[in-house]
A and B are shown apart, each in its own frame.
Chain A
């Protein structure tokens, strides 16, 4: 307990900026190599923020009440001193409300009568209904199992990789016409590239542009079997994300799509790179090139596992770089029609539903 308190005290002094420069530097290094301390910093920052918001709102609310009383006493606002026409209107509205309440009572009487009628009419056999619903449940379960088996078989048939392709990483669509973003290192030196979606469908792709220093590559699906998927469910965020914001990723660390969640732990990435950011998330090499989403289902970054220092810490290229990359790519007139999605249609949905909508747009990327 004493140890915990000491650590917490250190973290709090760090967050409040009460450390001397050399102590701060030392602590920042510790943070980079120790995921547990990093998590504690992020968690405590978030908590102090929440506590602060709470206090601010409480005192603002009491200030508002004081102002209300003052202004009323000074006659500067009309509160509770309704005169003339306003009063008549007010009373009329009041009266209307009484009428509405009376109407509700009338409704209640009707309901009571309905209830009485129901009570005396013959009841359905409850046991039978339970039995029926159990039967339906059984049928459903059998069907589910069959569905799963079919799916498994389908996967086995379609996801057998062509022997020439090495295990790669992840990528995701940025335009339904078949443009994807992935990491440059995944397809380095590859002559042939394939991308495979969640359903196991495989498409040939070509390299449109590569930004080696940022580890970003733009691919274009070049396969007759691919049909444009129209608009994407997620948008790509133009501005930066806040520290401690919860994030999640979808990718192919295995042969199937995997979800993992974490938080943004620092606004800059490896060695202070301002175009990348640090994540507290369980990710491995297969996640590389995969999208990082915030709670609203916006893409905030692209995971890059080129630098891995500690477990549970990953880096991502910030999404604003995707905009810069596309501007660069568009200098070639054959890419003029490319358009990045700005708004997420999954905003406001819970995570499960977001993932359901998004997963079809995240691909496994392989090169030979």
Chain B
């Protein structure tokens, strides 16, 4: 058996091999769960990838205590996510007994939902920004390109000009984001 701790360390570093291994070892199990409970192959892919994001963000935040196997965690999260989606669609299914063991993942899913909300807020804010701000900020903050490269790519005379423009865009993005963030946070729990 492969060392699980090594796999998780790899996952936290977005190592392709680690992601592939975890994917390959767990996908079929989750797909069987979804399909045996009123889901399609597309649902299975969706739910499994969502569970992978939960696991990824958990290890990224450094809080993965190895008190269960990766398999158990992924299964438990997928099961909860799928039941929740069925409930939202007013469909109900009882997965009943299975060969897989289940652990409590409520707190992880709560944290995940908070991150989902934050992700949506940021996505909305970035999409509201318009060009060239959107591409400029994505190039610098997401793709981590340096200012020289960005200046020539976006046609600024020098890196300082590009940097000034970047900050102007950033101020706008922050303003849009925090307006939603503050509202969203005070709504928490509703």
User: 1/0 contact trace for A42-84 toward B, CB 8 Å?
Assistant: 0110011011111111111101110110110000111110100
CA distance A151 to B70 in the complex (A): 57
Contact check, A80 vs B24: say whether CB atoms are below 8 A apart: no
Q: Which of B27, B168, B171, B181 has the most CB of A within 10 A?
A: B27
Contact check, A51 vs B20: say whether CB atoms are below 8 A apart: no
A353 part of interface (Cβ distance < 8 Å): yes
Residues of A within 8 A of B (CB-CB), count: 49
Contact check, B167 vs A97: say whether CB atoms are below 8 A apart: no
CA distance A198 to B30 in the complex (A): 52
B35 part of interface (Cβ distance < 8 Å): yes
Residues in B neighbouring A55, C-beta threshold 8 A:
141-142
* Known contacts A51-B122, A89-B35, A71 near B27 by CB under 8 Å: yes
Q: Which of B139-182 touch A at CB < 8 Å?
A: 141-142, 163-164, 167-168, 170-171, 174, 177-178, 181
Contact check, A54 vs B23: say whether CB atoms are below 8 A apart: no
User: Footprint of A on B, CB under 8 Å?
Assistant: 14, 16, 19-20, 23-24, 27-28, 31-32, 35-36, 38-41, 44-45, 49, 52-53, 56-57, 60, 91, 110, 115, 118-119, 122-123, 126, 141-142, 163-164, 167-168, 170-171, 174, 177-178, 181, 185-190
Contact check, A77 vs B27: say whether CB atoms are below 8 A apart: yes
Residues in B neighbouring A351, C-beta threshold 8 A:
186, 188-189
CA distance A54 to B177 in the complex (A): 12
* Known contacts A50-B122, A90-B35, A350-B190, A67 near B167 by CB under 8 Å: no
Residue from the list B16, B171, B174 in contact with A63, Cβ < 8 A: B16
Contact check, A60 vs B141: say whether CB atoms are below 8 A apart: no
Question: Closest approach, in angstroms, between the C-beta of A258 and any C-beta of chain B?
Answer: 18
Residues in B neighbouring A207, C-beta threshold 8 A:
none
Question: 3 nearest interchain CB pairs?
Answer: A350-B189, A55-B142, A54-B122
CA distance A217 to B63 in the complex (A): 33
Residue from the list A5, A43, A65, A68 in contact with B178, Cβ < 8 A: A43
Residues in B neighbouring A76, C-beta threshold 8 A:
24
Residue from the list A5, A54, A100, A350 in contact with B164, Cβ < 8 A: A5
Residues in A neighbouring B44, C-beta threshold 8 A:
79
Question: Closest approach, in angstroms, between the C-beta of B54 and any C-beta of chain A?
Answer: 11
**Beyond A48-B141, A71-B23, 11 extra complex contacts between A and B, CB < 8 Å:** A51-B142, A52-B141, A60-B52, A63-B19, A76-B24, A79-B31, A90-B41, A93-B39, A246-B185, A350-B187, A351-B186
Question: Closest approach, in angstroms, between the C-beta of B170 and any C-beta of chain A?
Answer: 7
A9 part of interface (Cβ distance < 8 Å): yes
Residues in A neighbouring B49, C-beta threshold 8 A:
61, 64-65, 68
* Known contacts A50-B177, A51-B122, A79-B45, A64 near B24 by CB under 8 Å: no
CA distance A86 to B186 in the complex (A): 47
12 A-B pairs with CB atoms under 8 Å apart are A43-B178, A50-B122, A50-B177, A51-B142, A54-B119, A60-B56, A68-B27, A68-B45, A70-B20, A71-B27, A93-B35, A351-B188
CA distance A204 to B32 in the complex (A): 64
* Known contacts A5-B167, A77-B27, A79-B31, A59 near B187 by CB under 8 Å: no
Residue from the list A4, A58, A89 in contact with B142, Cβ < 8 A: A58
* Known contacts A68-B49, A79-B27, A86-B35, A53 near B118 by CB under 8 Å: yes
Residue from the list B16, B24, B171 in contact with A8, Cβ < 8 A: B171
Q: Which of A44, A96, A351 has the most CB of B within 10 A?
A: A351
Residue from the list A51, A53, A78, A93 in contact with B115, Cβ < 8 A: A53
Residue on A nearest B90 in the bound complex, by CB: A104
CA distance A58 to B123 in the complex (A): 10
Residues in A neighbouring B35, C-beta threshold 8 A:
82, 86, 89-90, 93
Residues in B neighbouring A348, C-beta threshold 8 A:
110, 189
Contact check, B45 vs A71: say whether CB atoms are below 8 A apart: no
CA distance A56 to B27 in the complex (A): 22
User: 1/0 contact trace for A94-138 toward B, CB 8 Å?
Assistant: 101100100000000000000000000000000000000000000
Contact check, A50 vs B118: say whether CB atoms are below 8 A apart: yes
CA distance A53 to B112 in the complex (A): 12
Contact check, B20 vs A67: say whether CB atoms are below 8 A apart: yes
Q: Which of B122, B141, B171 has the most CB of A within 10 A?
A: B122
Question: Closest approach, in angstroms, between the C-beta of A305 and any C-beta of chain B?
Answer: 26
A25 part of interface (Cβ distance < 8 Å): no
